[in-house]
């Protein structure tokens, strides 16, 4: 499996649920069509407050229009390139998420699903901004 990353920044309007605090890292496995095959319980902390992954069944349907299209494009990019991708997303005004998408291959080398790893990068982003203010 390739380990190349392509850092990019894309703003997101998704606001995490207020009563769920995600673990430092959460993983969701997504089929090419966006169907959620498996997800860590902490995924709810990354979704908009009024959304629930189990209720929608699709990663794309968990988010508003623009955010759903972002995820659709990000998964498609990983499927076509067969390489990992990394994105930095504004999960809320004071929260930044690091999203890493990794293709999952079968024995024949075909991409069968995509693993999405979400981690909180807010502290790192604040430190970066502080360094640039100096």
User: Is the distance from CB of 99 to CB of 19 less than 8 angstroms?
Assistant: no
Going by their DSSP bridges, the two strands 85-92 and 95-105 should be labelled as antiparallel
Residue with tokens 């995509």: 114
Confidence label for 18 from pLDDT (cuts 50, 70 and 90): very low
Q: What is the mean pLDDT of residues 36-49?
A: 73
Tell me: the pLDDT tens digits for 61-91?
A: 776 666 778 888 999 999 999 999 998 777 6
Angle 113-12-99 (CA atoms, 0-180°, nearest 5)?
40
Q: What structural domains does the chain harbor?
A: 7-133 (3.30.450.20)
Closest C-alpha to 89, from 16, 2, 20: 16
Predicted TM-score (pTM) above 0.75: no
Q: In whole angstroms, what is the distance from residue 133 CA to residue 111 CA?
A: 43
């Amino acid at each position: 499996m390739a380990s190349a990353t392509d850092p990019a920044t894309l703003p997101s309007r998704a606001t995490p649920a207020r009563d769920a605090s995600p673990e430092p890292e959460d993983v969701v496995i997504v089929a090419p069509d966006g169907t959620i095959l498996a997800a860590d319980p902490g995924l709810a902390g990354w979704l908009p407050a009024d959304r629930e992954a189990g209720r929608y069944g699709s990663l794309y349907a968990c988010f508003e229009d623009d955010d759903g299209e972002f995820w659709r494009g990000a998964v498609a990019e990983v499927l076509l390139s067969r390489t990992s991708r990394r994105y930095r997303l504004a999960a809320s005004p004071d929260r930044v998420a690091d999203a890493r998408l990794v293709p999952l291959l079968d024995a024949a080398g075909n991409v069968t699903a995509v693993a999405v790893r979400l981690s909180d990068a807010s502290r790192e982003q604040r430190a970066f901004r502080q360094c640039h203010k100096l």
